[in-house]
Amino acid sequence: MRILDISMTIHPEMMVYKNRDENRPVFTVTRDHSGGSAYETRVTLNLHTGTHLDAPLHILENGSTIDQMALDRLVTKCRVLDLSHVEDRITEQDLAGQPIEADDFVLLKTRNSQSETFEYDFVYLEESGARYLRDCKVRGVGIDALGIERGQPGHLTHRILMEAGIIILEGLRLAHADAGQYTLIALPLKLKGLEASLVRAVLIHPCLF
């Protein structure tokens, strides 16, 4: 059995969305061995830092929260699709020839995984691609960008997926994940009433389901 870590490492100099300083994690040592018997650190960060899950509340008014997300939907079979050839946006045409089945958790591997710095022209999932995945009745969609869209007006990609109950997983690192089937484990922190959570996402091969 092979376990592949597809999570971003959290640290103050890491890639953050649009390189915004307010999104950078802050590590503050509150106690160390020079003055006591233990070492402790306070971490301040945005919930959309690194590899994270979006709950519907992120976009949908009165949407469900991250603590309400069913864990059996996050320990699941998944399928990595290699879309490294896509230059700008993933459309229905890009997905139509892919081996997607109902209830798949689909992970979109793009050229984004080759960069460790934020690129403003990152590959994202366009609305027609989101509608196609919705109509395929997938369980979830993950992408190797810090956003599944580039802030399109109205957040249509998010809305199409969330309104269909499809989970959104962002900030994956898929450079070393070949196309194919895996088991995905992507469990959020149990944060009450909030719209997102960091996750430690891993792939297990061969698929256990």
- Selecting among 48, 58, 85, 155, the annotated active-site residue is 58
Question: Does a cis peptide bond (omega within 30 degrees of 0) precede residue 12?
Answer: no
58 is catalytic: yes
CA dist 131 and 111 (Å) reads 22
Q: How many CB atoms within 10 Å of residue 179?
A: 15
CA dist 157 and 150 (Å) reads 10
State the catalytic residues. Answer: 58
